[in-house]
Every structure is written in structure tokens, then in C-alpha cells.
Amino acid sequence: MEILWILLLAGLTAPVIAILKTLTDIRDQQQAEKEVEKRLIELFERDNKLRKKLEAIVRGLATAPFPHERLAEAHKIINDALRGLDKQSRKAILDALYQPSERGRINYISKLVSGASEKHLAATPGR
């Protein structure tokens, strides 16, 4: 009878642990994205042309077909923003940035750039 209780508890515990792991991963991903947005904003503050360039790339990526070199250019700029990010956060961002789905990569780049751009413009007086 004890074995049945142990198996029952193990069967109930495993899904709870999996859910907690998933929630932790989501939280970590969101924190990493906030940090990347912050770093992109810092890049934009140093070079406003970079913000405009990234926005233009994102607009260009939204229309298919698009040149793959523009996607590579956006990857490079975002990778520059990842410098100094802790290993776990960097991995989370890179996994999303280089996901198998091309549409998913484009949407993720758009999400990062749009978020950073909106926050940068909101924090910049007179714009």
C-alpha cells in the first residue's frame, strides 16, 4: 500500500515541478528581454541613427520577400546589445533570436526593437 502512495505522490509531484520550471523559464526570458531592451535603448541614446536603421529593417522584414542580409544586420545589432549579459539570459535571447522558424525570428526581432524604440521615444523629451 505504501508503494501505491509513493507512486501517486510521484505522479502528482512531477507535473507540479514541470509547471514551476516552465514559469521560472518564462520569468527569466522576460527579465532577459527587459535587459536587452534597456541595452538597445542605451545604443539608441548614443546613436539615434541606429534606432532609425533598426526600425527600417523591421519594417522591411515585415514584407515578404525580404533580403536575408537585413535579417543578419538586425541580428548583429542585437548581438551587440547582448555583450556582457549573463550566460543564461544571453542563451534565452539567442535561442529565440535564432529559432528555427524564420517568421518567428522576424517577429522576435520586431518585438525587441519595437519595445526598445517605444521606450526610448517615450523617455526622450521633444520627440
List the domain boundaries for the chain.
29-123
Q: Which residues of the chain are modeled with pLDDT < 50?
A: none
Q: What is the pLDDT of residue 35?
A: 92
Q: Where are the alpha helices (DSSP H) in the chain?
A: 2-46, 48-61, 68-82, 87-97, 102-123
Q: What is the pLDDT of residue 64?
A: 64
**36 and 78 Cβ atoms separated by less than 8 Å:** yes
Please name the residues in contact with 29: beta carbons below 8 A apart, sequence gap of 6 or more: 92, 96
Packed helices 87-97 and 68-82: angle between N→C axes, nearest 10 degrees? 170
Q: What is the pLDDT of residue 127?
A: 54
Q: Which amino acid is at 67?
A: P
Closest CA to 109 of 63, 43, 61: 61
Q: Which amino acid is at 37?
A: E
**61 and 70 Cβ atoms separated by less than 8 Å:** yes
**Sign (positive or negative) of CA dihedral 57, 89, 24, 14:** positive
Q: What is the pLDDT of residue 102?
A: 84
**45 and 119 Cβ atoms separated by less than 8 Å:** no
| Predicted TM-score (pTM) of this structure | 0.77
